[in-house]
Amino acid sequence: MAAAMQALEVVLMQRTTEGYGDSEGTRSLLGLVEECERTKDVAAALETFCLGEGDALPLLRAGLGRLEPVLRGASASDSWIEKLEKVLEGDGGKVTDGEVKIGYFLVAVASLLVFVRANVTGPPAEAVGEDPEACAREDGAGARSKGEEGKAMSRKWILKHMSVDGEYVAGKPELVGYLCTASTIFRGVDFADSSDVELATAPWWKLRTLHLHQKLLSKNSATLKESLVQLAKELSKTFRDKDEDLWGKGCLAALEMECAMVMQTYHCVNEASDFIGMASDRLGMDLRQTGVMGKRTVHQVDAKAQMVLLTERKAGENSSSAAEREDEKLPKDWLMEGLDQEDILLLPRLEGEEEEVTDLSHAEQALVLLWLVQVSKNQARTDLQSWEMMPYVQCIFKQDPPGAFAKMAATLHAARFERERNRTRERSLVRMEKLVEALALPTPSVSMRISGAFTIAFPPLPLFQKEYGEQLLSNAMVGNALIVFEKYEQWDNLIVCYQLLQKTAQAQKLINDRLEESPDDPRLWCALGDVTKDDSCYVKAWERSGKRHARAQRSLAASAMRNDDYKPAIESWELALALNPLHPSGWFAVGYCYMRENREDDALKAFTRVTQLNSENAEAWNNLAALHMKRRTWKMAFAALKEAVRLRRESWQLWDNYIEAGLRCGHVMLGVYGLQKVIAMESCHKVNLFSLELLLRIIRDAKHSGSSGAKTKVEKSGDISDEDLKTLEIHDSDDEEEGQEQATSAFENDLPAAGSKEWKAMEEKILDILKKFAATSAAGHQLWRIFGSYYKMVESYASMKEMYLKESRALLGLQWKGDEELFSRIVQSSADLLDAAIKCTEANPEDKSGVSSLKYHFKGIVKQASNHFEDSSDLKELKKVLERAESICN
């Protein structure tokens, strides 16, 4: 019995991962299933699925046959899902009868496979109704559940069974009852409970079911995340040492890839990378990108470097080509016919091409596509990203032949990359249209598509059709997009279409008609609120959902924010986030509301939560840094700004804050690097020169001390008020307390030794930065003063005098008469200018022309200032400066 059950599980897993067809190993395993008395009735159904057309309905019927004894007492008025729930509740999840446990397992697995066929891989099965129990009958009774009764049943199941943490299904999936069946069984049956039947893969199938459920929801769910992450870790340990000869390397690697996909869904990039590394090691395959000379366009004359992906097998690893295990052959130009009519080639023509592997197995192709997703999540989104991703797609296209589902996924990625470029936007739309057709056409069969359905990322049908509709909309095909959105009940997008067509009244009528059929659907009430701009619709959605529809509160919060009413917005956001805390945009919005309400402690926690959920949110890192800068916790601010500038390297504001925070933490050389990045930007003239002045002050103090690592006293930035500082309490961590001390006391800097070769190189870099700033519109009195400070530090007094003279003239060019603060700066500038001239005279005592010319400069300032600042102490100081100049000349 144990051998037969293990064989059954292995065959199912191999068929859905590596696509094993009519091989000797598969038939041997099927023989074990048939020979066992307790599983022989399943053998024919299993053979149909594995060696036939991939139809899972016979497996469903076999499973239901074993469940007849436990379902016999259920009420006939109950729906199928209600029967299951009541039976499982009565048993408490404990199933001691091995036959019944096998029945539950087969029903759940088969139901999931039917749902995947209808919503992920295609093609749709014929005569399959909404009710799994009725559809599994061989008398064809399932067809009766396909009318209005079936639609009503489907809507009921979507609302009651598919909502998790206040998040509802996005759109309208097909045959949702089958996913509900699988989810109900895997949640309700304890397959690990002791009995004479051991089902090692039950948690694996549960992982697949819950992950697909998560993909269908509008937002990530905290409940599903907890379950999926725990399952992934447990499965990795359980299957790590399984017999590769029995299970197959590809099958065991598939588990690690599926765990990686779970981690990617929840933005756990490091954990995903670990699982991908384990899968790569198991398959013995390495990937590396390199450049090869080639041509990308039809009319290109000279070859240019083209990025390609090379797949390398480790020593001793042999090919396990997918082509050998398929009864059918995939047409080489499938999904690509007619795409070569444009100037840009589908695949670059390479010259001197390195030897490439073109016989990757299904698992190896899935690994290539998994790496593609991982690389995109590992780096900030830039204009070059699509060029770095495309080699992974081209690697799949070069396979001879590729797996059917792998090619579908690669085509989708190619369409996403190409829609970003004007020259290939039309081709991108054609690719999407071909995918829409492929999902509906009967060829290639589901038996060719099923391998990779769980190891390759591909959106479920409602989300794929939504993406297709959005692309139609971006190409101004509003009418076609409207049809797609209405069919799959993408209400938000549908409203946009009607608004573009200026037919808002029709949108309202359509939603009202749907509400007559489903008055308790909170998604429809929210859509009505979007159309009418009536907050009472969102309140109605909240009430009709039993206060479980997070989107309703999010809409109320957004409405309040538009009216600058932040207190009720906070209340609504808190209710929504209490239901589903895995919503980065929600935490960001409530953080903004907290800031507007001066609740900075709460804002800090909110933005921290955003970065925990999505580490790629540059705005959240920036806001987090701004709060820490206001608190003067510079270490924390600098850590946040490092992430922010990594994600948005083109933002001069982020770099400006990065420089200041770095300098206040003692990272002087990083401050110099930051200034080099800023000066290379077109917007460098907008930068506040405070950081540049602070840098010069730190370097000057270090030079005067005569050693590296000098302690520098840094004053607080002028943009942080003492009043703000008095109202803040810092109690988040020890690091923050250290940061506060650092903000007001001396710190160790990372400068090289004064006078060393590295020091001189640093001075040259700073001089270059100053010259570049001087060549921009940022050149003003503040910059000339900083420039003068630099020349004073390097003891170049003639240049110092020239810079201070420029500063003085720049100040006199302003509206300073009557402005005491500006006049005070002019007086200070005059004193510095005279000191610089005296330094020049000391170097050459015979030449006093420099001071002599300044005497007339000072006289002119005194004459003008006397009419406006007669009793000013600053005027007295200016007269003293003039007297000093006259005494030197005499």
Q: What is the mean pLDDT of residues 308-320?
A: 75
Residue 630 domain flag: no
Q: Which of 31-40, 61-70, 108-117 has the highest mean pLDDT?
A: 108-117
Query: Where is average pLDDT lowest: 26-35, 96-105, 137-146, 172-181?
Result: 137-146
What is the model's pLDDT at position 131? Answer: 84
Whether the CA torsion 619, 622, 628, 629 is positive or negative: it is negative
Say yes or no to pLDDT of 21 above 70: no
Give the Cα separation of 128 and 56 in Å (integer): 11
* CB 257 within 8 Å of CB 370: yes
pLDDT of residue 715: 45
Final residue of a domain: which of 738, 768, 798?
768
Number of separate domains in the chain: 6
- pLDDT computed for residue 137 by the predictor: 66
Q: Is the peptide bond before 401 cis (omega within 30 degrees of 0)?
A: yes
Is 802 exposed, middle or buried, given 0-12, 13-18 or 19+ CB atoms closer than 10 A?
middle
Residues 321 and 414 in one domain: yes
**Spatial separation of the C-alpha atoms in residues 721 and 724, rounded to whole Å:** 5
717: pLDDT strictly greater than 50: no
Cα gap 664→661, rounded to integer Å: 5
pLDDT at 497: 96
pLDDT at residue 47, rounded to an integer: 92
Please name every residue paired with 169 in a beta bridge, in sequence order, or none if there are none. Answer: 217
Specify if 635 maps to a domain: no
Q: Is the pLDDT of residue 67 over 70?
A: yes
Q: Is residue 639 part of a domain?
A: no
pLDDT at 843: 78
Predicted confidence (pLDDT) at residue 708 exceeds the cutoff of 60: no
Return the number of other C-beta atoms located less than 10 Å from residue 593's C-beta: 26
pLDDT at 25: 85
Tokens at residue 609, please?
A: 């939560």
Closest CA to 469 of 442, 438, 429, 439: 429
Residue 332 confidence (pLDDT): 77
List pLDDT tens digits, range 773-809.
Answer: 998 877 789 999 999 999 999 999 999 999 999 999 9
- Give dist(CA 486, CA 702) in Å, integer: 69
In this predicted model, what pLDDT tens digit does every residue of 645-701 receive, in sequence order? 999 988 999 999 999 999 999 999 999 999 999 999 888 878 878 999 999 999 998
Closest to 534 in 3D by CA, of 526, 545, 522, 542? 526
CA 87 to chain centroid: 41
Residue 556 pLDDT exceeds 90? yes
Do 229 and 259 lie in one domain? The reply is yes
Provide the CA 860 distance to its chain's centre, in angstroms: 62
Please give the pLDDT value at position 138: 55
Residues for the chain: how many in total? 890
Q: How far apart are CA 712 and CA 698, in angstroms?
A: 6
Residue 713, pLDDT above cutoff 60: no
Of the three residues 742, 768, 794, the one that is the final residue of a domain is: 768
Q: What is the pLDDT of residue 724?
A: 34
pLDDT of 586 strictly over 80: yes
- Do 764 and 786 fall into the same domain? no
- Rounded Cα distance between 119 and 698, Å, is 63
Residue 876: count of CB within 10 angstroms of its CB:
11
Q: Domain for residue 263, yes or no?
A: yes
**What strands, in cross-sheet order, belong to the sheet with 304-313?**
304-313, 285-297, 344-350
Q: What percent of the chain has pLDDT over 90?
A: 62
Q: Are residues 829 and 734 in the same domain?
A: no
Tell me the chain's radius of gyration from C-alpha atoms. 35
Q: Residue 723's pLDDT band (boundaries 50, 70, 90)?
A: very low
Other C-beta atoms closer than 10 Å to the C-beta of 871 total 6
- CATH no. for residue 550? 1.25.40.10
CA atoms within 13 A on the CB side of 270: 3
- Whether the per-residue pLDDT at 353 is higher than 70: the answer is no
Q: Domain limits at 683? A: 647-652+659-768
Mean pLDDT value across residues 471-480: 96
Reported confidence tier of residue 355, pLDDT bands at 50, 70, 90: low
Highest-confidence segment of 196-200, 657-661, 715-719, 849-853: 657-661
Rounded to an integer, what distance in angstroms lies between the CA atom of residue 495 and that of residue 503?
9
- The answer to whether residues 162 and 29 belong to one domain is yes
Which residue has tokens 């087969």? 106
Question: Are residues 809 and 853 part of one domain?
Answer: yes
| Mean pLDDT of the 44-52 span | 90
Of 23-27, 546-550, 580-584, 767-771, which range is least confident? 23-27
pLDDT of residue 594 exceeding 50, the answer is: yes
Taking residues 493-497, what's their average pLDDT?
95
The answer, yes or no, to whether residue 709 has pLDDT greater than 60, is: no
Q: Is the pLDDT of residue 145 over 70?
A: no
Residue type, 255: L
Specify if 627 maps to a domain. Answer: no
- The answer to the question of residue 773 being in a domain is no
Higher local confidence (pLDDT), 803 or 151: 803
Specify whether 147 is located in the same domain as 8: yes
Mean pLDDT of 355-382: 86
Q: Across the strands, what pairs with 292? A: 306
Least confident of 35-44, 231-240, 708-717: 708-717
Cβ-contact 607, 624 below 8 angstroms: yes
Q: Does residue 728 carry a pLDDT above 50?
A: no
The answer to whether residue 165 scores a pLDDT higher than 70 is: yes
Point out the domain boundary residue: 718, 748, 768. Answer: 768
Q: Are residues 175 and 319 in the same domain?
A: no
Q: Are residues 96 and 220 in the same domain?
A: yes
Say whether both 527 and 568 belong to one domain.
yes
Task: Output the pLDDT for position 751.
Answer: 86
Q: Name which of 300-304, 329-333, 583-587, 713-717 the model is least confident about.
A: 713-717
- Verify that 80 and 195 share a domain, yes or no: yes
**344 or 606, higher pLDDT:** 606
Is the per-residue pLDDT at 294 higher than 50? yes
Note whether 427 and 344 are same-domain residues. yes
pLDDT at 435: 97
Q: Over the stretch 423-459, which tens digit does the pLDDT of each residue have?
A: 899 999 999 999 999 999 998 999 999 999 999 999 9
DSSP 8-state class, residue 796: -
Query: Is 38 inside a domain boundary?
Result: yes
State the chain's mean pLDDT as an integer. 87
Alpha carbons 872 and 820: distance in angstroms, whole number: 9
632 belongs to a structural domain:
no
Q: Which residues contact 297 (CB under 8 A, 6 or more apart)?
A: 343, 344, 345
pLDDT digit string, tens, across residues 731-759:
333 333 333 333 333 446 778 888 889 99
pLDDT score, position 74: 80
